[in-house]
Amino acid sequence: MHPFLETLRKYAESNVNTLLLLSIAFGFFVPFLDSTPNWVVTLCLAGVMFCSCAKITIESVKELRLQTPAWFYLIRYLAVPALLFWILSPISLPLAAAVLLITLAPSGVAAPAITELVGGSVVFSLFMTAATNLLFVLVAPFFLSAILGKSVPIDATSLFMNLLCVIVVPILLFRLVQWKTPSAVARIKKACPSVSVALICLMIVIIVARLRSLLLADPSTLALDFALIFAAYSANYLLFGWALGFRETRITRNAMAVASGVNNIALVIVISVLYFSAEVQRLMIMGEIVWIAAIPVYRAVLSRIG
């Protein structure tokens, strides 16, 4: 590798939190990024998933016990959303609806790469990402209809196509590279951590740029919205993620934290726009920013409490 590229690689791997926070700032202040086409974000997610495959081995797959993600799903993605909605409804119905959508949202495609950044099990995270997104199509309409008393259809075709592009294709592509050019795998694995960081940073910049006008439309509520949603994400990462796995290994607990906190918020933002009030929509949009801001914070936390 060229010395300059090697320097960039080492810097990216050593300064992940700084780069993530700078990405948020760039998204707010760099012009024209809000018009970035959707395929750029899709390509970033696919690249992140490709890099995540470099951390998956036959041994790590064999170590995955399916009963662990099964009980975690039942508690974190079914029981927790219902319980929080029931607790928060008497206090604030918009907040209860926003927290319901956030906790019901499936694990995001970036979760495996972020799991690697916090020292978690990439295999567990990848399994949860695929499983929660697939099950969301089946569970969410019935779940939301029962709790909210309204029919909430999900566009299964679009969701499955997105999963195909950003999960299935990158995994198959990585396996093809392993099969056809095994000599290149070592170099790919070495570059993947820094490439993942770069792609996640680019994705963050684009997401923040797209949302900045909506977030800044009413600055008077910005701090309160951020505090409320950040509290929800803190519970997701630490209480409903990391603490649930108190009997599991550290890498599984860290993977649970990320699977719980790095959610597919874009999916539930669409649902909030179609079926919920403007106040709920604003909280959901804030959620898109908060999960980004939470990554460096909880990366530092998990490295200390793991």
Q: In this predicted structure, what is the pLDDT of residue 118?
A: 86
Percent of the chain at pLDDT above 70? 94
Mean pLDDT of 245-267: 89
138-188 residue pLDDT tens = 888 887 887 767 677 777 788 788 888 888 898 889 888 888 888 888 888
pTM as predicted: 0.84
48-58 residue pLDDT tens = 888 888 777 66
Mean pLDDT of 112-131: 89
Question: Is residue 1 pLDDT above 60, yes or no?
Answer: no
Question: Is residue 98 pLDDT above 80, yes or no?
Answer: yes
Mind listing the domains of the chain with CATH numbers? 3-305 (1.20.1530.20)
Which one, of 87, 97, 111, lies nearest residue 229 by Cα?
97
20-39 residue pLDDT tens = 888 888 888 888 888 888 88
Question: What does the mean pLDDT of the chain come to?
Answer: 84
Q: In this predicted structure, what is the pLDDT of residue 70?
A: 94
Q: Which structure tokens are listed for 87?
A: 């607790």
Mean pLDDT of 229-255: 88
67-96 residue pLDDT tens = 999 999 999 999 999 899 889 889 988 888
Q: In this predicted structure, what is the pLDDT of residue 74?
A: 94
Q: In this predicted structure, what is the pLDDT of residue 60?
A: 67
Which alpha helices (DSSP H) does the chain contain, by range?
3-14, 16-29, 38-52, 58-63, 67-73, 80-88, 93-104, 111-117, 122-148, 156-163, 169-180, 185-215, 222-234, 250-261, 265-275, 278-305
Q: In this predicted structure, what is the pLDDT of residue 204?
A: 87
Which one, of 127, 21, 69, 80, lies nearest residue 236 by Cα?
80
Question: Is residue 256 pLDDT above 90, yes or no?
Answer: yes
Q: How many Å apart are CA 59 and CA 129, to the nearest integer?
A: 20
